[in-house]
Amino acid sequence: MKLKKEYFEDVKFFRNRASAFWAMVLILTLVSFPFLFKTYYLSILNLMALNVIVALGLNILVGNTGQISLGHAGFVAIGAYTTAFLLQVGIPFVFTLILAGLITALVGAFLGIPSLRLEGPYLAIVTLGFGLAVMVIIGRMDVFGGRMGMSIPRIKLGWTGLKYDEALYYVFLLITIFMIFFAQNILKSRIGRAFSAIRDSDIAASVIGINLSYYKTLSFAISAFFAGIAGCLWALYLQFLTPGAFTLMMSVLSLATVVLGGLGSVTGSVLGAVVMTFLNLQLDKIVDLPVIGDLISGFSNAFMNPSGIANIKWVLTGLILIAVILFEPLGINGLWIRVKRYWRLWPF
């Protein structure tokens, strides 16, 4: 009576043709984007891409392994400054990218060492301190221009025959797609399962043969690797680095991204990063909205300081964060799963 089963079915990236179809549509849209829209929008997409990569890595650490990091800005900074340094020395971009990832991963592994012994709040504090310390140290190092910052040389993209901005956009797109696949594969493999096992029960995990030290460190390293790659792209995106770009707020927002998107899922990371980036850019324009905008600016003029109205973005982000935990702990991904169930096989 045994049903014949296709075991590879579960391993495949796309579970069915419908999702593969939609992914193709999405990728084609993104590829044709530069021909359809203005360059300004490209830079928004680039920003989203960066945040997707950070979120992917952070989610593996937080959502899957159940560890906490409040210092991811520190990793991003290390990736960015490594890139700045290597590019200035004249190392080709491809190597710079890989090195930025690997060096950051190494630092991540080192930070992972205390995590072997530490429980939740203590780890949160260590990582928080790490993020702040990185900025202090970088700000004091002359190679990195200290507090003055340093500029990033453009990478060589002339051979593509495209405008620099467009070529850079494709670089971002390619890397992001690769990182999404990578993250998904990690989570579907024995390594990803080991991470989730540690999250659910570290005792049981060790008893079935999972080396907790190794996998916690690995999780930190992988998470930092993603942040390092994102940092490399940050450097290209900003073109000029100052230590002030990587604050505690950046770490907090990265965590917010992951929680908003949905803990423990790649889709969640992607959705979270896209939505969060969008909100971040749009929230301070909230006063331009019809009814709500008038209410808010009225309130602002009466009780607050109108010049500080840009800060409303923090207030709203904070409220969204709290609301997610209170009402939808699985984040946007939780909603998405329901929608997807409904649309599963369309249009086949």
Partner 1 sequence: MTFLKVKNISKSFGGVKAVQDLSFEVHKGEIYSIIGPNGAGKSTVFNCINGLYKTDSGDIYMDEQKLTNFRPEQVAAAGIARTFQNLELFSHMSTLDNLLLGRHLKMKASIFQIAALNFRKSQAAREEVEHRRKCEEIIDFLELEAYRNLPVLSLPYGVQKLVELGRALALEPKLLLLDEPAAGLNNEERQDMIFWIKDIRDELGISLVVIEHNIQLVKDISDRLLAINFGQKITEGTVDEVLDHEEVITAYLGEPETDQKMR
Partner 2 sequence: MITQLLINSLVAGSIYALIALAMNLIYKASEIPNFAQGEMSMFSTYITFLLLTTFGYPFSIALTGTLLFAFLLGFIFEFLFIRRAKEPNLLGFIIITLGFQLVLFGLAGWKFGSDQRTFSLPFSETEILIRTESFVLTEHNLASIIIAIFVMAGLYILLNHTKLGLAMRASQQNVKAAKFNGIPTDRILGISFGISSVVGAIAGILVAPVATLDPTMMWDPLIKGFAAAVLGSLESLPGAVIGGLLLGLVENLFGYYVSLEFKSIVAFGIIMLVLFVRPSGLFQKHYIRKV
Residues 94-123 vs partner 2: string with x where CB under 8 A?
--------------------x--xxxxxx-
Choose the contact partner of 317 out of partner 1, partner 2, none; CB within 5 to 8 A by kind.
Answer: partner 2
Contact 77, 135 (CB under 8 A): yes
Query: Coil, helix or strand for 151?
Result: strand
In the list 128, 155, 227, 241, the residue contacting partner 2 (rule: CB under 8 A) is: 128
Q: Report how far residue 118's alpha carbon sits from residue 66's, in angstroms, rounded to the nearest whole number.
A: 12
Q: Report how far residue 241's alpha carbon sits from residue 26's, in angstroms, rounded to the nearest whole number.
A: 32
In the list 19, 185, 242, 311, the residue contacting partner 2 (rule: CB under 8 A) is: 311
Contact 258, 63 (CB under 8 A): yes
Q: Report how far residue 265's alpha carbon sits from residue 51's, in angstroms, rounded to the nearest whole number.
A: 15
CB nearer to partner 1: pick between 186 and 255: 186
| Least Cβ distance, residue 203 to partner 1 (angstroms) | 5
| Least Cβ distance, residue 197 to partner 2 (angstroms) | 15
| Least Cβ distance, residue 9 to partner 1 (angstroms) | 9
Residues 243-262 vs partner 2: string with x where CB under 8 A?
-----xx--x--xx--x---
CB nearer to partner 1: pick between 97 and 275: 97
Say whether residue 142 binds partner 2 (CB under 8 A). Answer: no
Residues 6+ apart with CB under 8 A from 54: 72, 76, 226, 227, 230, 254, 257, 273
Peptide bond between residue 290 and the one before it cis (omega within 30 degrees of 0):
no
Say whether residue 325 binds partner 2 (CB under 8 A). Answer: yes
Say whether residue 181 binds partner 2 (CB under 8 A). Answer: no
As beta bridge partners, residue 151 has 240
Q: What is the CA radius of gyration of the chain?
A: 21
Say whether residue 170 binds partner 2 (CB under 8 A). Answer: no
Angle between helices 72-89 and 212-238 (to 10 degrees): 60
Residues that bind partner 2 (CB under 8 A): 62, 66, 68, 70, 114, 117-122, 124-126, 128-130, 132-133, 136-137, 140, 203, 248-249, 252, 255-256, 259, 263, 300, 303-305, 307-322, 324-327, 329
